[in-house]
Amino acid sequence: LLYRDGMLFHRYPLVTTDANKLEDQAQKVLKPTSYNYVAGGAGERATMDANRLAFRQWKLIPRMLRPAPHRDLTVQLFGKTYATPILMAPVGVQTIFHEDKEIGLSSACAEIGVPFILSTAASSSIEEVAQANGSGTRWFQLYWPRDNDVTLSLLKRAKENGFTALVVTLDTWALAWRPADLDGGYIPFIKGVGNQVAFSDPVFREKFLKKYGAVPEDQILQASQEWTSDVFSGASHGWEDLAFLKQNWDGPIILKGIQHPEDAKLAVEYGCDGIIVSNHGGRQLDGAVASLEMLPEIVDAVGDKLTVLFDSGIRTGVDIMKALSLGAKAVLIGRPAIYGLAVGGKLGAKQVLQGLLADLDQSMGLAGIHSIAGCNRSVIRKVHYGG
């Protein structure tokens, strides 16, 4: 694999290897509204900050004299073997970050064996991404429409186009109070650039045209915004509604946005295959607990009954090790890959993901860990000195 051979000493032509500088690098090339959308969070960003601080409160305990020239990064998820323990998180409206958008990023992911999760709010269609991702692994993330006909159509297209798992995002049935986006006028949403999945859907289109009639071209985006904010609102869903998704999807169903151990238990009770412990990267309920803080408790509650995945706040290979050591089976990478996309398009995003994998591989070696199974609670400790 590319990240193993020479990657550590490879000069990165496009993106910085310093996790703390990547965001600044992206800021230089992005329009302020796009930068605010990706780098921002909800409220006063208390949860975003907590996500990072929580990683600092766990430290690894390395072992010595355990030569490990080759680390095995493979993991088993839902009965399949994956080359690495990272997945590309669903991130919408990628056209506002780079013209390569979801097409470029999903193709980069295929080249390095990282599963790509396509957002319902994407600016590329299900079919386009399937083609770009080719023989790669792809999952579909559902912002769950209230309209069952639209849901069924999206699931059918995802299935027909080789998306093997369904990620149902639960924490975004309404958009949070996000000051930077509110002050900037939510430009990406008003422009409707995240509507490609919906607008390329025949059922959605038919309903849209029925409701709005022939909408003049210059008004279509405004109309689409009103329509999507109605359709892509999960306000009315409850746990019992999951039966509908189970009946209409034959692959694994993974609930994204779980933070409470009781909700994790409900996910088991309602027959879900996996959960993603996540607070949406601090973009939804500000003041919510750090995602990492809840991970061990959730793993203790349900870890033997379903697959626990994790995201929110991962910036380095060591962060990945920490989440895995606390019981996550794999992790999703959000903002860092998008900063890479902004800076260098498809190649920039690929370099960020490869860099994370190289860092993970090297850090595991330095900790005396040979395989992902070696990332467990015996190598991690909670500390109280911060920093």
Q: CB of residue 167 vs ligand FNR: minimum separation in angstroms?
A: 7
Site for ligand FNR in 320-359 (CB under 6 A): 332-335, 338
* 3-class DSSP state of 31: coil
Q: Does 90 sit near ligand FNR (CB under 6 A)?
A: yes
Q: Does 274 sit near ligand FNR (CB under 6 A)?
A: no
Q: Does 89 sit near ligand FNR (CB under 6 A)?
A: yes
Beta-strand pair 380-382/58-60:
antiparallel
Annotated catalytic residues are: 280
Q: CB of residue 92 vs ligand FNR: minimum separation in angstroms?
A: 3
Contact residue for ligand FNR among 16, 36, 123, 141 (CB under 6 A): 141
| AA letter at 68 | A
Beta-strand pair 330-333/86-88:
parallel
From 178-186, 278-286, 298-306, 351-359, give the range in contact with ligand FNR by CB under 6 A. Answer: 278-286
Closest to ligand FNR by CB, 264 vs 374, is: 264
What residues have CB less than 8 Å from 167, skipping those under 6 apart? 90, 117, 139, 140, 141, 142, 254, 256, 276
Rounded to whole angstroms, how far apart are CA atoms 47 and 313? 10
Site map (CB under 6 A) of ligand FNR, residues 144-173, x = contact = -------------------------x----
Contact residue for ligand FNR among 30, 255, 298, 314 (CB under 6 A): 314
- Do 88 and 337 contact (CB within 8 A), yes or no? yes
Q: Does 114 sit near ligand FNR (CB under 6 A)?
A: no
Q: Does 113 sit near ligand FNR (CB under 6 A)?
A: no
- Do 273 and 253 contact (CB within 8 A), yes or no? yes
DSSP result, 308-325: EEE-SS--SHHHHHHHHH
- Backbone phi, psi, residue 323, to 5°: -65, -40
Contact residue for ligand FNR among 15, 22, 30, 91 (CB under 6 A): 91
Contact residue for ligand FNR among 136, 184, 234, 281 (CB under 6 A): 281
Rounded to whole angstroms, how far apart are CA atoms 250 and 182? 39
- Token pair 């990406």 is at which residue? 188
Positions touching ligand FNR (CB under 6 A) are 37-38, 51, 89-92, 119, 121, 141, 169, 256, 278, 280-281, 283, 311-314, 332-335, 338
